[in-house]
Amino acid sequence: MEILVFKTNLTSKSRVRQVGPVLDIHPNIHQWNVDLHDCDKVLRVVTASIAAAEVENLLSTAGYYCEELK
């Protein structure tokens, strides 16, 4: 398992709820969470086999910004 970390523009609980179904349905995402108190609104994704670009694409498709933090 690995943890991918992303900067997002998910600034509220309602925005997090909007992307939840997109992340929940993906078979390679085992767990995820968003830290709304962090200045980067950090999304952490626990996965065994998903590329960061795919997570960025998922959020982009849902209408949100997402960039991997390295």
Could you read off the pLDDT of 13-47 as tens digits, one per residue? 999 999 999 999 999 999 999 999 999 999 999 99
- The domain that holds 59 is classified in CATH as 3.30.70.100
CA torsion sign for 11, 68, 60, 27 is: negative
pTM: 0.94
Burial class (CB in 10 A: 0-12, 13-18, 19+), 32: buried
- Number of separate domains in the chain: 1
The answer to whether the beta carbons of residues 43 and 3 sit under 8 Å apart is no
Residue 58 has pLDDT above 90, yes or no: yes
Domain limits at 51?
2-68
pLDDT, residue 10, reads: 97
pLDDT band at 70 (very low <50, low <70, confident <90, very high): confident
